[in-house]
Amino acid sequence: MSIYLPSSLTDTYTLQNGVRIPAIGYGTWQTPNDVTAAHVKTAIDLGYRHVDTAWGYDNEIGVGEGVRASGVKREDLFITTKHWVTFRGYQNTIDAVEDSLKRLGMDYIDLYLVHWPCVAASRPDWQEINADTWRGFEKMYKDGKLRAIGVSNYEQKHIEALAKTAEVMPMVNQLEFHPGYMQLDNIRYNQSQGILVEAWSPLGSGAVLKDETLAAIAAKYNKSVAQLCIRLSLDYGILPLPKSTNAERIAQNADVFDFEISPEDRAAIESMPTLGYSGYTPEEAPADKLAGLC
């Protein structure tokens, strides 16, 4: 499979329905709402055109304010938000989209994702619940409120189950991806289906940044470990969503288009032991982490 390699922040991947999505998204997980607007504006000032949020991050209001404060036209920006686990089902999903639109202060969302699948370990009727939720996604997509729809944290079995009833297949799957947790089988499955993979926690939420193997590899390219991690996503055809609340680091995280990681260094990174893994795998997480997912 040939990998598309973007060469600037405004280069785009093209989704299955033709919608174009800018190459690096500005992540907002764990950013408190009261400071989100300022950081989103900074990221947009620095050239980012894609912002990733979620109802569950509790900062959609701040994202909307930051977008308006930036002065950049809405149609020149790409905004993703996600459906939370408490909104499963057809009508709840429709209401959830309306609620996110209100919080964002927008009349459409560029990409809307199912945040977590409902899984067999939580409910025997997980397939029906996921299918019903997805019908709500399809309705809002067909109504033009959502320009593209997708999922997050879905494993192959969850996508295959959805495919039994879906009229529109997910265009994106947002997964945890960073050195020390690359889940390449899942990535390759998605890519073989034409589903664009996005990386959440591309820096392992900061946990991989002090690793010596990564530091040695990054030094060869005169780059920081953070830049190496972001480039790693791009080199695997994965759209990274780095999060930073520091202007210098927000800029640094976009300065990744002038190098490519060699096959030898990629192999060394692939063979690293598990590092920085969040513990959030829907099927395997301990019961306390699954609580509330379905």
Instruction: Give me the active site residues, please.
Output: 57
Kindly tell me which of 171 and 241 has the beta carbon lying closer to ligand A2P.
Answer: 241
Kindly tell me which of 83 and 243 has the beta carbon lying closer to ligand A2P.
Answer: 243
Contact with ligand A2P (CB under 6 A) among 22, 25, 27, 136: 27
Angle between helices 90-104 and 126-142 (to 10 degrees): 50
Contact with ligand A2P (CB under 6 A) among 113, 162, 172, 209: 209
Other Cβ atoms less than 10 A from the Cβ of 288: the count is 7
Among residues 29, 93, 98, 89, which one has the least CA distance to residue 280?
29
Contact assessment for residue 85 and residue 115, using Cβ atoms and an 8 Å cutoff:
yes
Closest separation between CB of residue 203 and ligand A2P, Å? 3
> Can you tell me the distance from the alpha carbon of 49 to that of 52, in angstroms, rounded to the nearest whole number?
10
| 20 binds ligand A2P per the rule CB under 6 A | no
Q: Which of residues 251-290 bind ligand A2P (CB under 6 A)?
A: 252-253
Kindly tell me which of 27 and 117 has the beta carbon lying closer to ligand A2P.
Answer: 27
| 206 binds ligand A2P per the rule CB under 6 A | yes
| 201 binds ligand A2P per the rule CB under 6 A | yes
| 205 binds ligand A2P per the rule CB under 6 A | yes
Closest separation between CB of residue 250 and ligand A2P, Å? 7
Cα of first residue to Cα of last residue in the chain, in angstroms, is: 35
DSSP assignment of 4-72 equals P---STT-EEE-TTS-EEESSPEE-TT--HHHHHHHHHHHHHTT--EEE--GGGT-HHHHHHHHHHH--
| 28 binds ligand A2P per the rule CB under 6 A | no
Kindly tell me which of 140 and 228 has the beta carbon lying closer to ligand A2P.
Answer: 228
Q: Which of residues 214-253 bind ligand A2P (CB under 6 A)?
A: 224, 226, 242-246, 249, 252-253
Other Cβ atoms less than 10 A from the Cβ of 272: the count is 16
Site size with ligand A2P, rule: CB under 6 A? 18
On the CB side of 231, CA atoms within 13 Å amount to: 24
Binding interface with ligand A2P (CB under 6 A): 27, 201-206, 209, 224, 226, 242-246, 249, 252-253
